[in-house]
Structure 1
Amino acid sequence: MNQTAYNPDEVVYRPRGGLTGRVQKHFARRLGVTPLKIKLDRPIITFSFDDFPKTAMELGAARLKARGWRGSFFVSGGLAGVSNHHGDLFDPEDLEALQADGHEIGCHGYSHLDASRLTAEAVASDAARNRAFLKEAGLHRAPASYAFAYGEATPQAKKRLLETYSSLRGVQPGINRGIADRGLLKAMPLDGGEAGLKRALAAVKEVRRNPGWLIFYGHDISKSPSEWGCTPEFLDVVLHAVEQSGAQVRTQSEALKAILARQ
């Protein structure tokens, strides 16, 4: 199916719901799995931000760096300079500054497309366009990690993208442990207000009790966040819990390397 690029002036796009959406997600998660064996004595936690709003850099990256940590920022080149429901999004010059600071710049597809509605080749082509954008923006390292926009994938897209990227992330809630899918890693959101904060803290507690790889993903950070964002206080509470957990905090690509090294 054809799908146009994300338009920030239109109503916020939402992936398919209902029975069709549930079936699609089931197949994406169950088929085309690339096994990743995860056996850790000490948990690993990754903080990632999608799209990404300037507040994720100004309030998110800064908070991570203050603790000696770094995060993964997933970029859609077509959103550079855009203002939308997340606020003002990144400018190209922000990318070099983040990478120079040690943060990871990952690929989120150039046009922020729903991969479940596209052929695998169309998804790969859009990702290649994004890599070209990142190179043009002055990034000296090609992205090693990919995050599916909206968390939507297909078995075919997972396999195709793993030809280029070392790992792919979705948005299915959970902790990666045992045998995970390298082509659709689970992640926990940094959103949802008080209920979302409780879920995030429960995930930190759980990964401390039973070590695995916990990936957080967020968007905007502000006093009045979007549906997919959080307040600075929300993030501070989660960061404090992670500090207390004794977990290693690594970017997505660094975490994967550490896990593979144990094999």
Structure 2
Amino acid sequence: MNNTNINFIDTTKLLNLKELELTDNPISDINFIANLLNLEILNLKNCKLLTNISPLKNFQHLKSINISSTGVTDIWTLSLLKKLNSLSIQDTQVVDLHPLQFLFQLLELNISHSVLDLTPLQNLVNLDSLCVQFNKIQDFSPITHHKNYKFNNDDDEDQKYYLSNQTFPTPSEVRFYNKILFVHKSQNRFRTNKNNIQKFSKSFAETKQTVTMSLNNVLCSLNKQTELLMQFISISSAYID
């Protein structure tokens, strides 16, 4: 029921419903779905009038929720949903991720256009897809120590970190940035798009043979040593200082 201009549904005969899509509707109150306790997938994307998700507190079977592009600012209700494995709060006013810190079954998380602090994610070691585009995050260290991340293994293809349109203040720890902006070892590539890059180091050049930096502001020089170490550099549509 997407983009149907509805704001209420009679759910009394839908108690066994497992999936519900209500995207692009003028919904401001979701109390009318409070009895759908068997829901596993709920999509409320672009319900811009929605600000309160507390009616979801008893939805213990929910595995996937999309509240992106809504008016939601408080996600403490989500801390009660222990089976949640996919969540999108993209393009909301949510800034505090602490309600997510004990959702250990989270596998996919989209927090683009919203948060500034990744600290609450440091124990979510099962995350294998994290999208944090268009944020002003200064510290990525909380997500670099996850023991289950195998960024340098060839079987990493399904693990994704999306970090375009970021500003990296001092990316001197190359190991850290190789983990975050990567394809995988078998391709031996570093790829970053639409970012502000202020520093490269020798060790960075030694670890990556192919570098793609489209639409970036590269605020540093690539010296001759770096150029020789890399076999291929693509810096299309970039500003290089």
TM-score by length of 2: 0.25
Bigger relative CO (Cα 8 Å, ≥ 6 apart): 1
TM-score (norm 1): 0.24
User: Which structure: greater helix fraction?
Assistant: 1
